[in-house]
Amino acid sequence: MMNPTSIPDPGSAIEARFLASLQSVLPTQRPIVLHEPLFKGNESSYVQECIDTGWVSSVGKFVDRFERDLAEMTGSRHAVAIVNGTAALHVGLKLAGVATGDEVLVPALSFVATANAVSHCGATPHFVDSSDSNLGLDPQALREYLGIVAERTGDGLRNKSTGRRLAAVVPMHAFGHPVDMDGLLAISRDFSLPIVEDAAESLGSLYHGRHTGTFGICGALSFNGNKIVTTGGGGALLIQDSALAQHAKHITTTAKRPHQWAFFHDEVAWNYRMPNLNAALGCAQLERLDAFVAAKRQLAQRYQMTFANDPDIRFVAEPPGCRSNYWLATVALRHPSIELRDKLLAVANDTGLMVRPAWTLLNKLPMYQACPSAPLTVATQLEGAIINLPSGPAVALGVGS
Amino acid sequence: MMNPTSIPDPGSAIEARFLASLQSVLPTQRPIVLHEPLFKGNESSYVQECIDTGWVSSVGKFVDRFERDLAEMTGSRHAVAIVNGTAALHVGLKLAGVATGDEVLVPALSFVATANAVSHCGATPHFVDSSDSNLGLDPQALREYLGIVAERTGDGLRNKSTGRRLAAVVPMHAFGHPVDMDGLLAISRDFSLPIVEDAAESLGSLYHGRHTGTFGICGALSFNGNKIVTTGGGGALLIQDSALAQHAKHITTTAKRPHQWAFFHDEVAWNYRMPNLNAALGCAQLERLDAFVAAKRQLAQRYQMTFANDPDIRFVAEPPGCRSNYWLATVALRHPSIELRDKLLAVANDTGLMVRPAWTLLNKLPMYQACPSAPLTVATQLEGAIINLPSGPAVALGVGS
């Protein structure tokens, strides 16, 4: 897609330095993937227990335990296991009252699931800018933007141009770095705007000592194979309100009223339950979460030291007052350039060190091009700047030990 | 919910006879559940392979193999593994072109997922009647009904009363008994009405030698824990058209265009993939499918003989020219009565023999009460008549051997 001849050669020095920096941190084996799962605990025995007992499906002790463990580890009052992160976010938006015809404010710099979950509600994503420091939604920019485009009505906040209700805002804790929640909570209060957190990448990340995903009406987690812990495929909602948590469980399990035999379902609902087989894997993985976070933070520190004096590349460190899980360790070009970024991606991937860029900004994707959008100055720069580095638990534990 | 004093005592003789009939077929152990999974093959070793290799998630050899095996065993040109049966039906309806504001013809006598999948498309279920013989959608009643309520327009078939497009019809092969597909295919031709088969319960069932789910635009399977074979939670679409199958794969896996590192997604899509961990379980289960079908058919034959001369209860046998998988062996009261049905359900369940009724008719559920509906004479009778009997593979293999 890029034409190399049109790019002023930034000096192969950058590429060589980037590669040398990675090599100085990482073990010598090749390839090193971006983030592989690690199963060295009770995964086999818990999964085998499901097969031995026949409890692999909709109900079972591992689903209950997974929810309890998650709640305890995150300090959330409730956790509801769900079939995957996209489904969790979909349900979370429903819980926040997002309905057909609404708009939902989401960062343009996010994985496509953030916008798709909005679409699945029949609503329209409305893109907003990100912060250069934590890579997540920028509350200051959002406040200024809402001052211009939004008006408060008896029926909530509205987009003055489209007339549609602005039903919620979805901060996404990118690569495990917590969003500025104080700034966002103030906006939520001032504009009566519900927060649904996309915490898919931030299990183990704390904002001012409190776990990401527990600030909004609810927070969606993901346990996809590339996440800090995995259930194969899976997700969850962290919820503080008991009635809301019960409702989340109800509508993710076909809204069936309990009865010895009768099939009576009392609202339109989903089959979004996490199978017990997957929860079994998750229970074993959660037992390793603290160790994984510690190791990944050590790995991140090594990366940070290595890139400390690089004139062209900065390491993205955890925001002040926060603990990041460093799901994916991240560097950013000081002078954003998609061309240079792609050269660095190529040189590393070609030597067996798997690195990746941030997502294509969501407002550039064909199905979201016509959606409303704030100015995306910072997000556009970040798109041309971000490179995620190998960060898997096996690599991290190897480097840390 | 029932007031026992208002019920004329139908004679405890029926209850005693029903119980004796079940006991004459089933082993003496208690409880005997309705349909438990059986894992005596390669389940453990395939699942362990996922854990050993780390391939538990979105891609992996078991997903590919599961799709190949399914296609081969059903004679379908393509099979796409999906996260569960509801999601498979949702995608199937999308493939058929069902859109917001449409109506979809579905049997009132079905599991709630059949109607929910329609709702998930933003469409409205339109309920139709069932056949007394195979318990599925009745083509003759549907043809007469369409003659009254439908009109052909340049934009397809329309409901004359609501003005909405009648976008598809969803036959559901109840308890594994194939619907009268010849009758339905004729309607599909005559009215230009696409068929999306709900084959959630009929893996292994043939209509005139051809596998259920391969007649319509696509057919949705389910591998929930209570199905003939299970993946914990899971589903699939059987699809004959190659482009459509490719599209199904694309929109169930976030519509990402293949690229070494770039995240470019070209339409609104879902995370509906089946994890490799679940597909591994499924591959081992499919190896047993033929044995399970054979055993369940033998068990059904025993039930059939036992109830052959019962004056009040008839066994529901496979339709002529069909091979049913007898997912759930089924009897029906000759004189339908919810009160009597519930007495029989109680007496069997209380002795540890798990039996269940058919579903509450979908048009009676709060969220679907206002939906359009054909006369449901037969479905209403069947609701008060049907009782499903213990049919699990372990019981069936035990009885058959």
Of A57-61, A282-286, A389-393, B62-66, minimum mean pLDDT range = A57-61
What pLDDT is stored for residue B60 in this prediction?
Answer: 83
Q: With helix as H, strand as E and coil as C, how does A271-302 read?
A: ECCCCHHHHHHHHHHHCCHHHHHHHHHHHHHH
| Mean pLDDT to the nearest integer, A247-266 | 96
Count A/B contacts: CB-CB distance under 8 Å: 188
3.90.1150.10, 3.40.50.620, 3.40.50.1970, 3.40.50.720: which CATH number matches B4-38+289-400? 3.90.1150.10
Q: Which B residues 263-282 touch A at CB under 8 Å?
A: 263-271, 273-278, 281
Mutate: best of B259, B270, B345, partner A, most A CBs <10 A:
B270
Chain B residues whose CB is inside 8 A of the A120 CB are 270
Mutate: best of A33, A228, A271, A273, partner B, most B CBs <10 A:
A271
What pLDDT is stored for residue B400 in this prediction?
Answer: 54
Contact B379, B107 (CB under 8 A): yes
Say whether B9 sits in a helix, a strand or coil.
coil
Maximal CA-CA distance, chain B: 72
Question: What secondary structure letter does DSSP report for A103?
Answer: E
Domain A43-286 has CATH 3.40.50.720: no
| Mean pLDDT to the nearest integer, A70-85 | 98
Residue A378, Ramachandran bin (φ over 0: left; ψ between -120 and 50: alpha; else beta): alpha
Q: Which B residues 7-46 touch A at CB under 8 Å?
A: 36-39, 43-44
Packing angle, helices B181-191 and B139-149, rounded to 10:
20
Q: What is the CA B146 to chain-centroid distance, rounded? A: 24
pLDDT digits (tens, 9 = 90+) for A18-41: 999 999 999 999 999 999 999 999
Q: Which A residues 280-319 touch B at CB under 8 Å?
A: 281
Chain B residues whose CB is inside 8 A of the A224 CB are 57-58
pLDDT band of residue A232 (cuts 50, 70, 90) is very high
Q: Which B residues 333-372 touch A at CB under 8 Å?
A: 345, 349, 355-360, 365-367
Q: A48 and B43: CB-CB below 8 Å?
A: no
| Minimal-distance CA residue of chain A relative to B256 | A112
Question: Nearest by CB to A356, which of B44, B122, B261?
Answer: B261
Q: What is the C-alpha separation between A70 and A82, in angstroms, rounded? A: 12
**A20 min Cα distance to partner chain B (Å):** 21
* pLDDT above 50: residue A8: no
Question: Nearest by CB to A112, which of B44, B263, B276?
Answer: B263
What pLDDT is stored for residue B3 in this prediction?
Answer: 41
% of chain A exceeding 90 in pLDDT: 94
**B331 min Cα distance to partner chain A (Å):** 16
| Mean pLDDT to the nearest integer, A217-225 | 97
What pLDDT is stored for residue A5 in this prediction?
Answer: 42
Of A54-63, A319-328, A340-349, B4-13, minimum mean pLDDT range = B4-13
Q: What is the bridge-based pairing of β-strands B166-169 and B103-107?
A: parallel
Say whether B117 sits in a helix, a strand or coil.
helix
User: Mind listing the pLDDT tens digit of every residue in chain B (401 residues)?
Assistant: 334 444 444 457 999 999 999 999 999 999 999 999 999 999 999 999 999 999 887 778 999 999 999 999 999 999 999 999 999 999 999 999 999 999 999 999 999 999 999 999 999 999 999 999 999 999 999 999 999 999 999 888 999 999 999 999 999 999 999 999 999 999 999 999 999 999 999 999 999 999 999 999 999 999 999 999 999 999 999 999 999 999 999 999 999 999 999 999 999 999 999 999 999 999 999 999 999 999 999 999 999 999 999 999 999 999 999 999 999 999 999 999 999 999 999 999 999 999 999 999 999 999 999 999 999 999 999 999 999 999 999 999 987 54
Q: Which B residues 123-182 touch A at CB under 8 Å?
A: none
pLDDT band of residue A11 (cuts 50, 70, 90) is low
Q: A271 and B113: CB-CB below 8 Å?
A: yes
**A189 min Cα distance to partner chain B (Å):** 31
Q: What is the C-alpha separation between B299 and B324, in angstroms, rounded? A: 12
What pLDDT is stored for residue A400 in this prediction?
Answer: 54
Q: What is the CA B6 to chain-centroid distance, rounded? A: 35
Q: What is the ipTM of this complex?
A: 0.95
**A213 min Cα distance to partner chain B (Å):** 21
What pLDDT is stored for residue B58 in this prediction?
Answer: 76
What is the CATH code for A4-37+289-400? 3.90.1150.10
What pLDDT is stored for residue B303 in this prediction?
Answer: 98
CATH 3.40.640.10 region(s) of chain B? 43-286
Q: Which of A333, A293, A89 is nearest to A204 (CA)?
A: A293
Q: Which amino acid is at A228?
A: I
Q: Which of B180, B241, B224, B265 is nearest to B86 (CA)?
A: B224
Edge-to-edge strand list for the sheet holding B196-198:
B78-82, B235-239, B218-222, B196-198
Q: Which of B268, B283, B302 is nearest to B395 (CA)?
A: B302
| Mean pLDDT to the nearest integer, A47-72 | 92
Question: Nearest by CB to B54, which of A37, A263, A265?
Answer: A37
- Give one DSSP letter per residue of B244-274, joined into a string: HHHHHHHHTBTTBPP-SS---B-S---B-PP
Mutate: best of A263, A278, A342, A382, partner B, most B CBs <10 A:
A263
| Minimal-distance CA residue of chain B relative to A267 | B367
Q: What is the C-alpha separation between A250 and A244, in angstroms, rounded? A: 10
Burial A185-207 (b: 16+ CB within 10 A, else e): eebbeebebbbbbbbbbbbbbbb
Structure tokens given for B400: 């058959």
Chain A residues whose CB is inside 8 A of the B275 CB are 225, 231-233, 278
What pLDDT is stored for residue B1 in this prediction?
Answer: 35
Q: What is the C-alpha separation between B292 and B325, in angstroms, rounded? A: 9
Q: Which A residues 52-71 touch B at CB under 8 Å?
A: 52, 54, 56-58
Mutate: best of B265, B274, B349, B386, partner A, most A CBs <10 A:
B265
H/E run at residue A117: helix A112-120
pTM (2 decimals)? Answer: 0.95
pLDDT digits (tens, 9 = 90+) for A139-182: 999 999 999 999 999 888 999 999 999 999 999 999 999 999 99
Mutate: best of B38, B43, B56, B369, partner A, most A CBs <10 A:
B56
CA distances from A299 to A44, A67, A356, A392 (A): 27, 29, 17, 10
